[in-house]
């Protein structure tokens, strides 16, 4: 009886093994494998795509590729003055003033942004023209200037992400400025300023649509010569500033 039992066990095992080999075919590999229907290549591709879309939306700070930046800052203006006749050195003094900007960034083809808007800048400075007066013991005449300009930049902006929540952007190009206190234009200052500007902005994203701004900018103005006077042949201005603000996408 015992021999018959062992014989049945051996025959049954042999039949099961033979059946598996018949189903497996000539390429059968008896190694243990973990079966899974997951397409890991597709999963990785979708993950990378969603990550790229999320970063792109953060760069543009909106779904439509348009964002508004509201900036409040402070800048210092340094004048560069040339005289008509006197060869002595002109003394200059830099002064500071507040700035306010409302800029719009429009994303083009997902490559870069076109930035324009309104930028209000207080440019304060003074310069002393050498003047010899032995009677009154005067060696120079100091002119203090407090001009306010409304600038319209036409910048190209490149953006990138440093981390998931922090991005950087650089914007540069020409600007067109309009003097808002025309009484100074009567004194020789031109009411139009053409120059170049650059803006470096750091953005911390509170969410997909709102970011906190912190950055700096520089303006080189007076390419068209800001002052026409008897004693001054050329006036150009350099304004360095820092700002903070809020970026809102829509």
Strand 155-161 versus strand 192-205 pairing type: unpaired
- Closest CA relative to residue 202, chosen from 162, 153, 173: 162
What residue spans define the domains of the chain?
Answer: 63-249
Look up residue 111 and give its DSSP letter: T
Residue 48 phi, psi dihedral angles, 5° rounding: -65, -40
Query: Radius of gyration over alpha carbons of the chain, in Å?
Result: 36
State the pLDDT at residue 22.
47
pLDDT 10s per residue in the chain (250 long)? 665 566 665 656 655 555 555 444 555 455 555 556 677 777 787 777 666 655 555 555 555 578 899 999 999 999 998 877 666 677 788 999 999 999 999 887 766 789 999 999 999 998 877 665 555 555 567 778 899 999 999 999 988 888 888 989 999 999 999 999 876 665 778 889 999 999 999 999 998 889 999 999 999 999 999 987 777 788 899 999 999 999 998 7
pTM greater than 0.75: no
E-strand stretches of 162-229: 166-179, 192-205, 210-221
Give the CATH architecture of domain 63-249: Beta Barrel (2.40)
Count of CB atoms situated within 10 Å of the CB of 100: 15
DSSP string, 223-238: TT-SB--SSEEEEEEE
Count of CB atoms situated within 10 Å of the CB of 73: 21
Cα gap 13→177, rounded to integer Å: 94
Cα gap 59→140, rounded to integer Å: 52
**Helix, strand, coil proportions of the chain in percent (round to 5)?**
20, 55, 25
């Amino acid at each position: 009886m015992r021999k018959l039992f062992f014989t049945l066990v051996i025959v049954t095992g042999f039949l099961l093994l033979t059946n598996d080999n018949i189903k497996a075919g000539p390429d059968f590999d008896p190694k243990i494998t973990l079966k899974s229907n997951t397409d890991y290549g597709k999963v990785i591709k979708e993950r990378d795509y969603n990550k790229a879309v999320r970063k792109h939306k953060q760069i543009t700070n909106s779904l439509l590729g348009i964002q508004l930046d509201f900036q409040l800052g402070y800048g210092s203006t340094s004048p560069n003055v040339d005289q008509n006749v006197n060869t002595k050195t002109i003394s200059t003094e830099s002064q500071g003033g507040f700035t306010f900007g409302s800029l719009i960034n429009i994303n083009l083809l997902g490559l870069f942004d076109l930035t324009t808007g309104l930028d209000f800048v207080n440019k304060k400075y003074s310069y002393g023209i050498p003047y010899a007066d032995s009677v009154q013991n005067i060696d120079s005449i100091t002119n203090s200037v407090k001009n306010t300009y409304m600038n319209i930049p036409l910048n190209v902006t490149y953006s990138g992400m440093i981390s998931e929540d922090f991005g950087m952007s650089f914007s540069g190009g020409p600007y067109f400025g309009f003097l808002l206190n025309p009484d100074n234009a009567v004194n020789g200052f031109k009411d139009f300023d053409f120059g170049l500007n650059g803006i470096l902005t750091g953005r911390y994203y509170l969410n997909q649509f709102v970011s906190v701004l912190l950055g700096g900018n520089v303006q080189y103005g007076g390419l068209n010569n800001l002052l026409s006077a008897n004693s001054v042949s050329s006036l150009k201005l350099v304004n360095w500033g820092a700002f903070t603000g809020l970026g809102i996408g829509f």
